[in-house]
Amino acid sequence: MKIKLKRLIAPCISAAVLALCIAVVSAAGTGGKKPYADTAAHTVATNAPSAANEAENSTAPTRQVSTENAEVNEPSNAVSEEIRGIWIPYMTLTLKENERSEEAFKAKIDGIISVCAAHKINTVIIQVRPFGDAIYPSVYFPFSHIISGTQGKSTDYDPLEYIVSAAHEHHIAVHAWVNPFRISTGTTPSQLADSNPYMVWKNDDSKENDRYTLAYNGAIYYNPAYPAVRKLIIDGIRELAANYDIDGLQLDDYFYPSEETDYDKADYESYVKALSDGSKAISQQEWRKTNINLLIAGIHAAVHAINDKLLFGISPQCSFENNDKISADIASWCMAEGYIDYICPQLYVSENHPTAPFDELAVRWKETVKNSNVMLLYGLGLYKAGTDADNGSWLSSDSNLRNQIEMIRGLGCDGFVFYSYDYLEANATNKEVRNAMAVI
């Protein structure tokens, strides 16, 4: 079935926002070596800030994407048919030593796509950048260890190219799932490639890039306070959008690692010192939100400059309070033009949850999306179905997922996404999946 995508309104940058863009670039410096400095307090904006500057200062090499058989293989991920998605995390894609041949990988992907098609899934959201690396050839990030066994060691084939081709043959859309900030958990990957930007910055003679990453609880993250870091992340997204026939891009729920203030205190203090005389500093939390918003707006602008039909979305945590703690500015993203095309909160709870019942959260998220150009999807906790998770609140029914699907359809959502593929045919979820299939 041939589906047409919703026409999305491009962000309108007002004169005031344009002035802010100029101020941002001026304060940050042309080399992007200072943290973002702006005197304005953070508010829910009517337009995304500085999207043009963030996107225009980013570049990515492109290669020709074949459009042969596009009419036949056009995926059904659009508005006139709800999105019925599933997340495929890096753990699912991780190859054992005896699976690292091209033939074994393709057979694995063929099996995944066939199972998805049998369950009427029309969109796969597949993790392509889990640890500041890539499951495809990239000029910015090393090849991922989950495919080759060693970060930086590439394969003779392009895994993502095959994933897209295999999915499209079944009329399944592909959204490339990116974790924009995580480089290492401390134990995963076991070794970082010398070409990893973190290793390059760590081992070079420059002190200017020493703050481009953050360390927290043994893990390592990119630091979005710096324009050069945001540019790197945007360039990586542009590379994906330009080089692959994907249908969307999604960021997950990783932003700042914590509400604690110590790990980027030096960057915030640099921002305060860079303010002109008489200017009032915004709080550290609002400053963090501004850094994230600049990145999100820059990604959106870059993606739509390449292909206006590509969908760019974010999948935040279900808790508004937790999102605020990690500086995810949900209100602005769901209200303003120029941030996102869809939001997909992870509502991994049942309607019987003792403190955060599904129905209440679903309504609150529906009310949060005030921009009619932002699509609302719901992430559903397939992995909890049939288990004693959340104090056994999933065990009172075998139709939790079915009830949730029917409830959110009644709210007028644009679709849903199951987490995750590995539980689609698991013994524990069998009854729940069978009952949900009756309404899919």
Closest CA to 293 of 263, 267, 332: 332
Q: Which long-range contacts (CB under 8 A, 24 or more apart) does 186-190 make?
A: 186/217, 186/218, 186/219, 186/220, 188/131, 189/131, 189/133, 189/145, 189/151, 190/145
pLDDT of residue 53: 63
Q: For residue 221, give the H/E element and its range.
A: strand 219-222
pLDDT of residue 396: 94
Q: Looking at residues 4-25, what average pLDDT do you find?
A: 35
pLDDT of residue 399: 98
| Total residues belonging to the chain | 440
Cα atoms in the Cβ-side hemisphere of radius 13 Å centred on 329: 25
Q: Decide the pairing of beta strands 83-88 and 123-129.
A: parallel
pLDDT-based confidence at residue 98 (cuts at 50, 70, 90): confident
Sign of torsion, CA 213 217 218 219? negative
To the nearest 10°, report the CA torsion of 12, 13, 17, 18: -170
Residue 217 has pLDDT above 90, yes or no: yes
Sign of torsion, CA 377 358 326 223? negative
Residue 260 has pLDDT above 50, yes or no: yes
pLDDT tens-place string over residues 276-328: 878 999 999 999 999 999 999 999 999 999 999 999 999 999 999 999 999 99
| Token representation of residue 175 | 């959204």
pLDDT of residue 55: 64
pLDDT, mean over the chain: 87
Q: Looking at residues 126-145, what average pLDDT do you find?
A: 98
Residue 2 has pLDDT above 80, yes or no: no
Q: Looking at residues 347-372, what average pLDDT do you find?
A: 97
How far apart CA 168 and CA 70 sit, in angstroms, is: 9
| Token representation of residue 265 | 């205190």
Lowest mean pLDDT among 25-29, 296-300, 333-337: 25-29
Is the separation of the CB atoms in 360 and 368 below 8 Å? Answer: no
Instruction: Give, in order, the Cα–Cα distances in Å from 158 to each of 15, 101, 126, 134, 175.
Output: 44, 12, 15, 11, 17
Lowest mean pLDDT among 78-92, 204-218, 399-413: 78-92
pLDDT of residue 108: 96
Largest CA distance in the chain: 65
Is the separation of the CB atoms in 344 and 382 below 8 Å? Answer: no
Amino acid letter, 296: I
| Token representation of residue 88 | 């495929």
pLDDT of residue 79: 44
Lowest mean pLDDT among 115-129, 221-235, 276-290: 276-290
Q: Which DSSP symbol is given to 211?
A: T
Residue 311 bridge partners (DSSP): 248
**Structural domains of the chain, with CATH:** 15-177+225-344 (3.20.20)
| Token representation of residue 364 | 């609150």
pLDDT of residue 72: 34
pLDDT-based confidence at residue 48 (cuts at 50, 70, 90): low
pTM confidence score: 0.87
Distance of CA 167 to the CA centre of its chain: 20
pLDDT of residue 97: 87
| Token representation of residue 356 | 């955060």
